[in-house]
């Protein structure tokens, strides 16, 4: 009969990183590198870019390990948060607005509403029909890029409630726009 394997202690590994122990960083990478790659890949949608983000995340984990505070959350959660924020920061910093074409500019100067303007007015009308808190949840999720947990914290509302509001609001928008 073999003894049960000791569970990996992420906090100890982070303290090791803070003390300059490369084996601790290697242990974290072996345990979580693949999962962190999955998180980054899901956000950015490009494997090479996701690999770069995970590399940057581990550099940050190594250099900021001393700032980890177990009272604020788990060590594993801290690592995932770093990766997620790096991926989202990349998306935000590389999202560019589409340049307006001559046709778009012409439609802005005419008195006749364009199809784009009509669609925008329609979605605005549908959004106005939503409860203000639910509308705010959608804005935070789809315009600001916040996670459900970040929205819940920001609005001081239970996470389950935020998820339900977003789901129901999207259904209401689909119905209104349909």
Kindly report, residue by residue over 36-47, the tens digit of the pLDDT.
999 898 888 889
Choices 1.10.1740.10, 3.40.50.720, 3.30.2130.30, 1.10.357.10: CATH for 10-94: 1.10.1740.10
What would be the CATH architecture of the domain defined by 114-177?
Orthogonal Bundle (1.10)
**Global model pTM greater than 0.75:** no
Predicted pLDDT of residue 59: 95
Q: What percent of the chain has pLDDT over 70?
A: 79
Residue with the bigger pLDDT between 140 and 6: it is: 140
pLDDT above 80 for 142? no
- Tens of pLDDT, residue by residue over 86-140, are 998 888 877 654 445 555 555 545 454 444 444 455 777 788 888 888 888 887 8
Predicted pLDDT of residue 52: 95
How open is the CA angle 101-92-83, to the nearest 5 degrees? Answer: 155
Domain limits, the chain: 10-94, 114-177
Average of per-residue pLDDT values in the chain: 82
pLDDT above 50 for 168? yes
SS (H, E, C) the chain: CCCCCCCCCHHHHHHHHHCCCHHHHHHHHHHHHHHHHHHHHHHHCCHHHHHHHHHHHHHHHHHHHHHCCHHHCCHHHHHHHHHHHHHHHHHHHHCCCCCCCHHHHHHHHCCCCCHHHHHHHHHHHHHHCCCHHHHHHHHHHHCCCCCHHHHHHHHCCCHHHHHHHHHHHHHHHHHHHC
Span 18-24, mean pLDDT?
A: 95
Predicted pLDDT of residue 145: 73
Residue with the bigger pLDDT between 52 and 127: it is: 52
Span 136-151, mean pLDDT?
A: 80
Span 62-70, mean pLDDT?
A: 93
Same fold, 10-94 and 114-177: no
């Amino acid at each position: 009969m073999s003894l049960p394997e000791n569970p990996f202690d992420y906090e100890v590994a982070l303290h090791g990183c803070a003390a300059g122990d490369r084996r601790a960083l290697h242990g974290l990478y072996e345990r979580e590198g693949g999962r962190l790659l999955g998180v980054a890949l899901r956000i950015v949608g490009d494997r090479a870019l996701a690999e770069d983000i995970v590399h940057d995340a581990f550099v940050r984990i190594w250099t900021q390990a001393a700032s980890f505070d177990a009272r604020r959350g788990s060590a594993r959660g801290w690592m995932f948060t770093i990766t997620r924020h790096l991926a989202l920061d990349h998306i935000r910093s590389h999202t560019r607005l589409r340049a307006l074409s001559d046709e778009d500019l012409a439609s802005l100067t005419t008195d006749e509403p364009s199809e784009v303007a009509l669609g925008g007015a329609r979605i605005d009308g549908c959004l106005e029909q939503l409860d203000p808190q639910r509308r705010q949840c959608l804005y935070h999720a789809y315009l600001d890029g916040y996670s459900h947990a970040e929205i819940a914290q920001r609005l001081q509302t239970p996470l389950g409630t935020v998820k339900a509001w977003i789901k129901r609001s999207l259904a209401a928008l689909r119905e209104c726009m349909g």
